Structure 1
Amino acid sequence: MTKLQILNPTLLQDKIDAGAYVLDIRDANSYNDSHITGSQRIDNSNIAAFLSEADKDKAVVVCCYKGFSSMQAAEVFINQGFGDVYSLEGGFNSFCTTHPQMCA
């Protein structure tokens, strides 16, 4: 059984370069204001489509504001058969403080 992993923010670029999905679960206004370059916003309205189309062999990195909600959301992907699932440690707020060049 796959276990949730916590991803150190310094390793996110490596995951992106390797083709990982970076999924942002924050609200639409927050995402539109700023988000991690290359991420996609996901919520209840589009998760079913993502799950049906996504390559389950690719890594999934879930981010929220501070890293707590993403841990719960990441469990959904584990339960759907994704084998390499991460919650971004410290969430979006922490990441963009230390990596502003990767936040649009």
Structure 2
Amino acid sequence: MTAFKHLSINQLIHMTEDEPQPQIVDIRDAASFQAGHILGSVNLTNENLAHFIADADMDAPLVVVCYHGVSSQGAASYLIEQGFDDVYSLDGGYTAWSTAHA
């Protein structure tokens, strides 16, 4: 079993320009997600986790986003345990992403 990898904002920008496009999951609360999120990301919650795993491409890159890049590390480890091969935790989380895109 492999471990998740850390991903910088710049690396994510480059990754979204490549094929295949990464799957991006945002584990913040629904209100924060609604207030702003990375284009194309899915708000991953306990309620939709099983459905997401069943429908996801386990081989495509998967980027996990939280508020500051801390909680996403645990979620990334969990998703690797569920069978995803190429999992990343976004360093700095959505806070860093939104600052970079302000």
Q: TM-score range by the shorter chain?
A: over 0.9
CA-to-aligned-CA distance 1:75-102 (integer Å, 9 cap, x gap): 11100111100000000001110123xx
| Aligned equivalent of 1:39 | 41
Per the alignment, in what secondary structure is the counterpart of residue 16 of structure 2?
helix
* Aligned residue number for residue 86 of structure 1: 88
Q: 1:3: which partner in 2?
A: 3
Residues 18-70 of structure 1: per-residue CA shift (max 9 Å, x gap): 31111000000000010011111001000000101111010100000000000
Normalising by structure 2, we get a TM-score of: 0.93
SS of aligned partner of 2:94: helix
> Which ranges of 4 or more aligned residues in structure 1 deviate by more than 4 Å?
none
Q: Pick from 72, 75, 78: which aligns with 2:74?
A: 72
**1-structure distance, mates of 2:12, 2:80:** 19
More helix by share: 1
Question: CA separation in 2, counterparts of 1:49 and 1:77?
Answer: 13
> TM-score, normalised to structure 1's length?
0.91
AA aligned to 1:73 is A
- Structure 2: segments with no counterpart, 5+ residues: none
Count of aligned residue pairs for this structure pair: 100
Q: State the match for 1:13 in structure 2.
A: 13
Contact 1:16 1:22 in 2 (8 A): no
